[in-house]
Amino acid sequence: MIDPKTVSLIHLGCARNLIDSELILGRMAEEGLLVTGDPEVAGTVVINTCSFIGPAEKESSDTIRAQLERKARGELENVVVAGCLVQRYRRKLQERFPRVDLFAEISDYRELAGSIRRLSEGDRVPRYLEGPVEREPDREGARLLATPSSYSYLRISHGCDHKCTFCTIPSIRGGHRSKSIESLCSEAEELVAAGARELVLVAEDSTAWGRDIGKRLPELVEALAETEGLHWLRLMYAYPNDFPWELTTLLREHDRVATYLDIPVQHAATGVLRSMARAGTGDQVRRLLDRLHDEVPDITVRTTLLMGFPGETEQDADEVLELLRAYRLTRVGAFVYSPEAGTPSFELEGRVPEEEALARHARVLELRDTLLAHEQEGRIGEEIEVLVDESSPHGGVIGRTERDAPEVDLIVRIEGGDAQPGELLRTQAVGLDQEFNLVCSPVKGDHE
Ligand code: SF4
């Protein structure tokens, strides 16, 4: 018997969208709906979509179709679509997916949850929920956390004022709006009280935090790092230009601030950076990395690279490889340029043949893995602190080091022991697995 009041959510996309998924889940629970993690047993399925680039958009569309096929087979009653795909295409999506029961733009999701409850009670509801032009940057509502209890994401601002020519995000998430330091501190306390030992700060451009409210990011990082019970505060999505250099003191010296920085540079060649409308030149990217390593000697830098951008030459692609080698970049996410309608780069000439773009992308990943294998082999024998995230299906537990952000970087496999999520273990690195993840053993006396 299908129960439309049993609801499940399929999350797609980035960590910022995951916070929205957690918000939708929280709102639905507040409405008295029964939330399940298994869409197969739900009568109503919500898909929180992503549409950043072509492949992500395809995944969203395929997921919607799959759930509509289940509905057609009588396996579920309602299909609800929310998130970035709705925000990007608005009411046009109703024509593309006429059998979807409810569409919702990005909002605080109160109205969405109310509509889903009424839908589950058999009431007729408006099929399309518009969101505010720009969502208020205030305190997030109650979230049903979907990450392991050891860490949580904390969004510090919404939107982005940059105009990168390949990016759809400003058109989806709007201009930059900082959340207040007070609301962020109280959110941090709540998340740590719920068990998080690590808070991962996310935004479209985290370094822009405070510019619209007369503050600067280091002030926020210092305040959040005072949260009782917190172990690591991790900074993601920094933008290379106008970097708040006071931050390096906190990265280097503050016990609770992870000596880690995610700073997407996108490319290393000046010509390509210019056509991407990224502020700064290749030399400025290199000088930034030089200064980061000078001021924070033990820093782990994560970055993101986009290969195959229109006009990119073989020499430009080689400059990216040289950047990886010169700065031993091992925490690297790399994408192949995807021409997105509505973005300025869509009209650019000099498209790189797909085969060539894929080959350049593959060379970046290959070099990254070579550098990573060397770095990880060098850590065997070292004593390493690990934050436990979850138990492993193969026995033992899985965790991460201070050098690894959740979901995008590496994990640590800890053999034996039954430590709980959120515990910090002293371990010794004894080997690597096939993906260059460290394999560790608990140090004697530490949770054997
Ligand atoms: S800074 Fe990031 S989110 Fe903003 S436009 Fe550029 S790529 Fe997009």
Residue 132's pLDDT is 84
Choose the residue to mutate in 53, 162, 171, 267 for probing ligand 1, maximizing ligand atoms within 8 Å of C-beta.
Answer: 162
Asked if the model's pLDDT at residue 445 lies above 70, the reply is: no
**Ligand 1 atom at minimal distance to the Cα of residue 170:** 5
Distance from residue 115's CA to the centre of ligand 1 (Å): 32
Of residues 411 and 341, the one with the higher pLDDT is 411
Q: Write the residue with the smallest CA distance to atom 8 of ligand 1.
A: 167
Residue 99 pLDDT grade (very low, low, confident, very high; cuts 50, 70, 90) = very high
**Is this structure's pTM higher than 0.85?**
yes
CB under 8 A, 24+ apart: contacts of 348-357: 348/165, 348/275, 348/310, 348/311, 349/310, 349/311, 350/310, 350/311, 351/310, 352/308, 352/309, 352/310, 352/312, 354/308, 356/308, 357/307, 357/308
Place of tokens 């609801």: 7
Asked if the model's pLDDT at residue 437 lies above 90, the reply is: yes
245 dihedral zone (left: phi>0; alpha: psi -120 to 50; beta): alpha
Residue range 146-201, pLDDT digits in tens: 999 999 999 999 999 999 999 999 999 999 999 999 999 999 999 999 999 999 99
| 6 three-state secondary structure | strand
Q: Shortest CA distance to 335 belongs to which of 52, 92, 134, 107?
A: 52
Residue 446 pLDDT grade (very low, low, confident, very high; cuts 50, 70, 90) = low
**What kind and span of H or E run contains 240?**
none
List C-alpha distances in Å: 159 to 135, 172, 177, 178: 9, 8, 6, 9
Residue 448's pLDDT is 47
Quote the DSSP letter at residue 101: S
Domain with CATH 3.40.50.12160 in the chain: 6-129
Can you tell me the distance from the alpha carbon of 199 to that of 257, in angstroms, rounded to the nearest whole number? 10
Question: Residues with beta carbon inside 6 Å of ligand 1?
Answer: 160, 162, 164, 167, 169-170, 204-205, 239
Compute the average pLDDT of residues 338-361: 95
Instruction: Report, in this order, helix, strand and coil percent for the chain, each rounded to 5.
Output: 35, 20, 45
Q: What is the mean pLDDT of the chain?
A: 95
Can you tell me the distance from the alpha carbon of 189 to that of 288, in angstroms, rounded to the nearest whole number? 33
Residue 421's pLDDT is 96
Can you tell me the distance from the alpha carbon of 195 to that of 214, in angstroms, rounded to the nearest whole number? 32
Half-sphere exposure in the Cβ direction for 131 (13 Å, CA): 23
Residue range 256-301, pLDDT digits in tens: 999 999 999 999 999 999 999 998 899 999 999 999 999 999 999 9
Can you tell me the distance from the alpha carbon of 310 to that of 342, in angstroms, rounded to the nearest whole number? 16
Q: Of the CATH numbers 2.60.40.650, 3.10.310.30, 3.30.230.10, 2.40.50.140, which one belongs to the domain with range 383-447?
A: 2.40.50.140
Q: Write the residue with the smallest CA distance to atom 3 of ligand 1.
A: 204
Look up residue 95 and give its amino acid: E
Distance from residue 224's CA to the centre of ligand 1 (Å): 24
Is the CB of residue 304 less than 8 Å from the CB of residue 333? Answer: yes
Query: What fold, for 151-377?
Result: pyruvate-formate lyase- activating enzyme (3.80.30)
What angle separates helix 354-377 from helix 314-327, to the nearest 10 degrees?
10
Q: Shortest CA distance to 341 belongs to which of 116, 97, 51?
A: 51
What angle separates helix 217-224 from helix 181-193, to the nearest 10 degrees?
30
Half-sphere exposure in the Cβ direction for 75 (13 Å, CA): 11
Is the CB of residue 6 less than 8 Å from the CB of residue 42? Answer: yes
Distance from residue 425's CA to the centre of ligand 1 (Å): 37
Q: Looking at domain 6-129, what is its CATH homologous superfamily? A: Methylthiotransferase, N-terminal domain (3.40.50.12160)
**Ligand 1 atom at minimal distance to the Cα of residue 205:** 1
Residue 447 pLDDT grade (very low, low, confident, very high; cuts 50, 70, 90) = low
Residue 309's pLDDT is 98
Six-digit token string for 403 = 């050098």
Other residues' Cβ atoms within 10 Å of the Cβ of residue 107? 20
Domain with CATH 3.80.30.20 in the chain: 151-377
Domain with CATH 2.40.50.140 in the chain: 383-447
Distance from residue 177's CA to the centre of ligand 1 (Å): 14
Compute the average pLDDT of residues 73-96: 96
Residue 137's pLDDT is 82
Residue 108 pLDDT grade (very low, low, confident, very high; cuts 50, 70, 90) = confident
Choose the residue to mutate in 50, 171, 177, 205 for probing ligand 1, maximizing ligand atoms within 8 Å of C-beta.
Answer: 205
